[in-house]
């Protein structure tokens, strides 16, 4: 596994006092968070609570008004930071996959390494093949995104992000646009990634995934983190009433076999969808 | 006079065009009358050609198709010249230039409208016709009472865009001598040698009239947008 | 009155030379229109308010004024502007004036075609490109533009057809194209119906294939979405 040299436990994402508004809508009201290398943090919270906006501030797809963000040694909130260069270190996988429809699966994965990292084509191609076989799609290299199922598209999107050899991976509701029977294959890939030691921030309401994979859960509500802590503690002994209420709403959707696959956001991203 | 010498010391003079303003306004009245008359004449013809194109009788639909494509594919200016210089005089009787102008524009606009109406009719979901027939309506009733009202509504923005384009196209009739806004401006320009001043004022008049219409059309597009 | 196409057909080479003028002025105008149009479209989607305003002003003004006036204004105003700015008097060749005038006119319409094509690309695509470390320029050229092109080509074809037809208007500023030749031939022969019908057929040789292509592209674009 690449990108994981460095000591586990050293802070790799540091966020201090993040604020963001859209007109009168105050989406983030002072969010701080530290994530250490190798940690998996799941962000939960109701629709519009600021989770997606927070995630997109981390790689500066959204410009925060106030606050400081450091990711993998890049001070993202500094005007002099070379954003394209810093973003190579931060993979983003979003709800709608956003694969390039005019490129094949292989080209999708090769595009970043060739255009941005200036890797020789042969090397980029070989690496793309490796990554696609890691997500179980080496037989689809010549397909176009529209020929794939949603689950397959999302796995390609993960491979595309990994091709940049990122230090951190951000997932914004990676399974919420998928049919229930397709979420498993994506979550499996994500779990493997976590097992390999990737640092991950995941906006998701897949409780089953969170309880098995996450080191920590952060509960967002109304633009702040109302509570965060070890997964087990948040799920079984949340201190905040808001967290308990939110979790019980999620649980009331629990399917019979115990797998939690439904999403109270009804497939819509939170405040991030404003952009 | 050496034009270069005149330009070197070019002084703007809006006097002549301001003096000619009443003439411009008279021309504007003709322009508006041309556009309104053309729209009034061409709309029923456009609808008729749209139905003809959708007709199950091969010959009818072919003839309508040929008409529509012919007028969409050739320059409007040629159509105007054929009518004004050719057909008009050939009719023998002295036909008013205004009438010839409206005829030429109408033939053209009807072709474009036919295409708009046909597209709109065909864009109405098949299920609408089926539902109407299922409740016992005849084909004719289903078309007139169910399909057509929806189609007309759907074609509003495109028809409005056609109208704006027609409003500007009336200027071409100046080239065959219809005394509309542009020709009045042109005559002032020839008289005064104040080409830039005159034409910018004429352009401004068109802008002031057309731009609000375009804004309205944008609103119509938003309001009647069909999800595709 | 009897139609007699003989005299017109005798002068066919003369008219075909006019067609060459039509094609030349159209080709030049397409190049000018596409280039300026893309620039205006980029202004209209730029993050800067004043730039967006300027782009919008250009599009709104040009689209609100008849082509004939744009052409006449161009022929008379441009020499004055250049004279005032440089102190040198210039003569613009009629063909060049036609290309520029028609091109700048078409640019306003093409800008809207480009703009809506670019805006039709989902914002997630831009996001995906930026997230892999592409610069804005790389995202535009490698991700947005190729996808926008698919949306742009059908309406752009229709705009090109309109442009070729509109090139007939440039005869009013003395561009030596088909319409001008038709006019002078008619002055000699005094057979307007025959002359203009033959000229219409010559136009059709170019415009009808364009119409068919444009209609087909629009249909498949509508079916594809």
Rounded Cα distance between C72 and C181, Å, is 19
C62: tokens are: 């040009």
Rounded Cα distance between A213 and A42, Å, is 9
Give every CB contact of residue B189 below 8 A, 6+ residues apart in sequence: B195, B198, B199
Q: Does C133 touch chain A (CB under 8 A)?
A: yes
The pLDDT value given to residue B11: 76
Rounded Cα distance between A171 and B167, Å, is 54
User: Is C76–B10 a contact, with Cβ atoms under 8 angstroms apart?
Assistant: no
* Averaged pLDDT in 10-residue chunks for chain B of 228 residues: 51 80 92 96 96 94 96 95 83 81 96 96 88 85 89 90 94 92 91 85 94 86 65
In this predicted structure, the answer to whether residue A5 has a pLDDT above a threshold of 80 is: no
Task: Please choose, from the candidates B84, B75, B74, the residue with its C-alpha nearest in 3D space to the C-alpha of residue B104.
Answer: B84
Shortest Cα–Cα distance, C194 to chain B (Å): 8
Interface of chain B toward chain C, CB-CB under 8 angstroms: 3-4, 7-8, 10, 69-70, 72-79, 81-82, 85-87, 89-90, 168-169, 171-172, 174-175, 182, 185-186, 195-196, 199-200, 202-203, 206-207, 209-211, 214, 228
The pLDDT value given to residue B129: 87
Residue B118: count other Cβ atoms within 10 Å of its Cβ.
23
Rounded Cα distance between A231 and A41, Å, is 9
Q: Best interface-test mutation with B: which of C72, C84, C174, C222 has the largest number of B CBs within 10 A? A: C72
Q: Which of residues 41-60 of C touch B (CB under 8 A)?
A: 60
The pLDDT value given to residue A61: 92
Q: Does A275 touch chain C (CB under 8 A)?
A: yes
Shortest Cα–Cα distance, C110 to chain B (Å): 15
C127 contacts on A by Cβ (under 8 Å): 56, 61, 92, 94, 98
The pLDDT value given to residue A198: 96
Interchain touch C–A (≥3 Cβ pairs closer than 8 Å): yes
Terminal-to-terminal C-alpha distance of chain C? 53
User: Is B73–C210 a contact, with Cβ atoms under 8 angstroms apart?
Assistant: yes
Rounded Cα distance between C210 and B147, Å, is 31
Query: What are the tens digits of pLDDT across the range C157-183?
Result: 999 999 999 999 999 999 999 999 999
The pLDDT value given to residue B137: 87
C48: tokens are: 């800067």
Whether the Cβ atoms of residue A180 and residue A261 lie closer than 8 Å to each other: yes
Residue C12: count other Cβ atoms within 10 Å of its Cβ.
11
Query: What are the tens digits of pLDDT across the range A64-90?
Result: 999 999 999 999 999 999 999 999 999
Shortest Cα–Cα distance, C133 to chain B (Å): 33
Shortest Cα–Cα distance, A56 to chain C (Å): 9
Is the four-CA dihedral C96, C99, C105, C108 of positive or negative sign? negative
In this predicted structure, the answer to whether residue A266 has a pLDDT above a threshold of 50 is: no
In this prediction, residues C124-142 reach a mean pLDDT of 94
Rounded Cα distance between C108 and C58, Å, is 7
- DSSP for residue C171: G
The pLDDT value given to residue B228: 41
Rounded Cα distance between B42 and B37, Å, is 8
B75 contacts on C by Cβ (under 8 Å): 165-169, 179, 203
The pLDDT value given to residue B226: 54
DSSP string over C125-163: HHHHHHHTT--HHHIIIIIIHHHHHHHHHHHHHHHHHHH
Chain centre distance of CA B88:
20
User: Is B203–C207 a contact, with Cβ atoms under 8 angstroms apart?
Assistant: no
- Distances from the Cα of B169 to the Cαs of B105, B115, B162, C44, in angstroms? 8, 18, 10, 26
Q: Does C65 touch chain B (CB under 8 A)?
A: yes
Query: What are the tens digits of pLDDT across the range A223-241?
Result: 999 999 999 999 999 999 9
Please report which confidence band the pLDDT of residue C224 belongs to, taking 50, 70 and 90 as the band edges.
low
The pLDDT value given to residue B222: 80
Q: What is the pTM of this model?
A: 0.83
Is the four-CA dihedral A80, A84, A85, A89 of positive or negative sign? positive
Give the nearest chain C residue to B9 (CA atoms).
C84
B68 φ/ψ angles, rounded to the nearest 5 degrees:
-60, -45
Please report which confidence band the pLDDT of residue A273 belongs to, taking 50, 70 and 90 as the band edges.
very low
Give the nearest chain A residue to C150 (CA atoms).
A102
Whether the Cβ atoms of residue B220 and residue B152 lie closer than 8 Å to each other: no
Q: Does C72 touch chain B (CB under 8 A)?
A: yes
Give every CB contact of residue A241 below 8 A, 6+ residues apart in sequence: none
- ipTM for the assembly: 0.90
Q: Does A88 touch chain C (CB under 8 A)?
A: yes
Q: Which of residues 191-210 of C touch B (CB under 8 A)?
A: 192-193, 196-197, 199-200, 203-204, 207-208, 210
The pLDDT value given to residue A144: 95
The pLDDT value given to residue A42: 96
In this predicted structure, the answer to whether residue A272 has a pLDDT above a threshold of 60 is: no
In this predicted structure, the answer to whether residue A262 has a pLDDT above a threshold of 70 is: no
DSSP string over chain A: --S--S-TTSEEEEEEEEEEEETTEEEEEEEEEEEETT-EEEEE--TTSSHHHHHHHHTTSS--SEEEEEETTEETTSTTS-HHHHHTTEEEEETT----TTS-HHHHHHHHHHHTS---HHHHHHHHHHHHHHTT-GGGTTS-GGGS-HHHHHHHHHHHHHTT--SEEEEESTTTTS-HHHHHHHHHHHHHHHHTT-EEEEE---HHHHHHH-SEEEEEETTEEEEEEEHHHHHHH-SSHHHHHHHHHHHTT--TTS-----TTTT--SGGGG-
C87 contacts on B by Cβ (under 8 Å): 8
Query: What are the tens digits of pLDDT across the range A99-114?
Result: 999 999 999 999 999 9
In this predicted structure, the answer to whether residue C92 has a pLDDT above a threshold of 90 is: no
- Average predicted confidence (pLDDT) for chain C: 92
Whether the Cβ atoms of residue A235 and residue A229 lie closer than 8 Å to each other: no
User: Is B85–C225 a contact, with Cβ atoms under 8 angstroms apart?
Assistant: no
Whether the Cβ atoms of residue B188 and residue B135 lie closer than 8 Å to each other: no
- Distances from the Cα of A204 to the Cαs of A65, A232, A243, B67, in angstroms? 25, 16, 15, 60
User: Is A87–C132 a contact, with Cβ atoms under 8 angstroms apart?
Assistant: yes
Rounded Cα distance between C215 and C210, Å, is 8
Please report which confidence band the pLDDT of residue A254 belongs to, taking 50, 70 and 90 as the band edges.
low
Between A153-167, A241-255, C166-180, the lowest mean confidence (pLDDT) is in A241-255
Rounded Cα distance between A36 and B69, Å, is 68
User: Is C132–A99 a contact, with Cβ atoms under 8 angstroms apart?
Assistant: no
Give every CB contact of residue B196 below 8 A, 6+ residues apart in sequence: B12, C73, C76, C77, C80
Task: Please choose, from the candidates B43, B42, B45, B32, the residue with its C-alpha nearest in 3D space to the C-alpha of residue B208.
Answer: B32
Q: Which of A196-200, A259-263, B18-22 has the highest mean pLDDT?
A: A196-200
List all chains that touch chain A, counting a touch as 3 or more CB pairs closer than 8 Å. C
Angle of CA points B207, B213, B215, to nearest 5°: 100
User: Is A87–C146 a contact, with Cβ atoms under 8 angstroms apart?
Assistant: no
Residue A168: count other Cβ atoms within 10 Å of its Cβ.
22
Count Cβ neighbours within 10 Å for each residue of A56-77 and write b for 16 or more, e otherwise.
bbbbbbbebeebebbbbebebb
User: Is A87–C123 a contact, with Cβ atoms under 8 angstroms apart?
Assistant: no
Whether the Cβ atoms of residue A187 and residue A175 lie closer than 8 Å to each other: yes
Between A46-50, A264-268, B209-213, the lowest mean confidence (pLDDT) is in A264-268
In this predicted structure, the answer to whether residue A261 has a pLDDT above a threshold of 50 is: no
The pLDDT value given to residue A146: 94
User: Scanning the structure block, which residue is given the tokens 């809506």?
Assistant: C116
Whether the Cβ atoms of residue A225 and residue A219 lie closer than 8 Å to each other: yes
Give the nearest chain A residue to C122 (CA atoms).
A98
The pLDDT value given to residue B9: 60
User: Is C132–A161 a contact, with Cβ atoms under 8 angstroms apart?
Assistant: yes
Shortest Cα–Cα distance, A233 to chain C (Å): 33
Q: Residues, chain B, total?
A: 228
C60 contacts on B by Cβ (under 8 Å): 211, 214
Query: What are the tens digits of pLDDT across the range C98-128?
Result: 999 999 999 999 999 999 999 999 999 999 9
The pLDDT value given to residue C1: 60
Q: Does C150 touch chain A (CB under 8 A)?
A: yes
Rounded Cα distance between C72 and B197, Å, is 12
- Distances from the Cα of C128 to the Cαs of A101, A108, A112, A129, in angstroms? 12, 11, 10, 20
In this prediction, residues C138-167 reach a mean pLDDT of 95
Give the nearest chain C residue to A115 (CA atoms).
C134
Whether the Cβ atoms of residue A166 and residue A91 lie closer than 8 Å to each other: yes
In this prediction, residues A257-270 reach a mean pLDDT of 42
């Amino acid at each position: 596994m690449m990108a994981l040299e460095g000591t586990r436990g050293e802070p790799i994402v540091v966020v201090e006092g993040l604020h963001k508004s859209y007109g009168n809508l105050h989406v983030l009201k002072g969010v701080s968070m530290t994530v250490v290398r190798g940690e998996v943090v799941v962000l939960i919270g109701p629709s519009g609570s600021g989770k997606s906006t927070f995630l997109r501030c981390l790689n500066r797809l959204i410009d925060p008004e106030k606050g400081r963000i450091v990711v993998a040694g890049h001070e993202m909130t500094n005007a002099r930071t070379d954003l394209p260069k810093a973003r190579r270190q931060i993979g983003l996988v979003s709800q709608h996959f956003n694969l390039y429809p005019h490129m094949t699966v292989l080209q999708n994965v090769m595009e970043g390494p060739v255009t941005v990292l200036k890797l020789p084509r042969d090397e980029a191609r070989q690496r793309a093949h490796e990554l696609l076989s890691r997500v179980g799609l080496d037989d689809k290299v010549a397909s176009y995104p529209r020929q794939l199922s949603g689950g397959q598209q999302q796995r390609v999107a993960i491979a595309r992000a990994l091709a940049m050899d990122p230090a951190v991976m951000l997932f914004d509701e990676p399974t919420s646009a998928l049919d229930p029977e397709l979420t498993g294959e994506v979550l499996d890939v994500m779990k493997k990634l976590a097992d390999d030691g990737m640092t991950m921030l995941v906006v998701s309401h897949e409780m089953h995934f969170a309880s098995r994979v996450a080191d920590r859960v952060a509960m967002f509500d109304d633009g702040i983190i109302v509570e965060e802590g070890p997964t087990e503690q948040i799920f079984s002994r949340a201190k905040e009433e808001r967290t308990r209420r939110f979790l019980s709403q999620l649980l009331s959707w629990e399917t019979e076999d115990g797998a939690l696959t439904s999403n109270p956001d009804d497939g819509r991203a939170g405040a991030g969808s404003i952009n | 006079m050496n034009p270069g010498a005149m330009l070197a010391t070019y002084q703007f003079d809006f006097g002549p065009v301001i003096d000619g303003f009443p003439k411009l306004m008279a021309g504007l009245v003709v322009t508006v009358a041309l556009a309104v008359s053309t729209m009034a004449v061409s709309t029923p013809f456009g609808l008729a050609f749209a139905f003809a194109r959708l007709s199950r009788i091969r010959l009818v639909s072919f003839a309508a198709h040929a008409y529509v494509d012919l007028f969409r594919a050739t320059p409007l200016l040629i159509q105007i010249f054929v009518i004004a210089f050719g057909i008009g005089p050939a009719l023998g009787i002295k036909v008013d230039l205004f009438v010839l102008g409206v005829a030429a524009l109408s033939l053209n606009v009807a072709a474009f409208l036919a295409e708009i109406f046909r597209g709109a009719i065909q864009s109405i979901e098949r299920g609408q016709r089926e539902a109407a027939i299922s409740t016992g309506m005849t084909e004719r009733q289903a078309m007139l009472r169910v399909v057509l009202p929806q189609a007309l509504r759907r074609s509003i923005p495109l028809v409005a865009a056609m109208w704006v384009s027609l409003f500007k196209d009336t200027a071409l009739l100046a080239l065959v001598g219809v005394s509309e806004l542009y020709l009045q401006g042109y005559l002032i320009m020839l008289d005064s040698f104040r080409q830039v001043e005159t034409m910018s004022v004429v352009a401004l008049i068109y802008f002031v009239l057309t731009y609000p219409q375009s804004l309205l059309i944008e609103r119509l597009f938003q309001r009647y947008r069909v999800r595709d | 009155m009897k139609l007699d196409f003989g005299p017109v057909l005798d002068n066919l080479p003369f008219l075909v030379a006019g067609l060459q003028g039509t094609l030349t002025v159209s080709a030049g105008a397409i190049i000018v229109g596409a280039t300026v149009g893309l620039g205006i479209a980029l202004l209209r989607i730029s993050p800067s308010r004043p730039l967006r305003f300027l782009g919008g002003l250009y599009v709104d003004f040009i689209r609100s004024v008849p082509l004939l006036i744009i052409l006449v204004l161009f022929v008379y105003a441009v020499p004055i502007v250049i004279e005032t700015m440089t102190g040198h008097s210039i003569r613009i060749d009629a063909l060049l004036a036609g290309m520029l005038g028609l091109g700048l006119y078409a640019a306003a319409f093409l800008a809207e075609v480009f703009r809506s094509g670019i805006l039709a690309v989902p914002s997630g695509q831009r996001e995906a490109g930026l997230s892999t470390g592409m610069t804005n320029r790389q995202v535009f050229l490698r991700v947005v533009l190729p996808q926008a092109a698919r949306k742009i080509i059908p309406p752009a074809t229709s705009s090109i057809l309109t442009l070729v037809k509109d090139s007939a208007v440039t005869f009013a500023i003395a561009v030596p194209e088909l319409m001008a030749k038709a006019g002078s031939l008619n002055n000699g022969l005094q057979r307007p119906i025959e002359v203009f019908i033959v000229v219409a057929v010559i136009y059709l040789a170019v415009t009808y294939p364009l119409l068919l292509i444009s209609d087909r592209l629009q249909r498949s674009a509508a079916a594809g979405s």
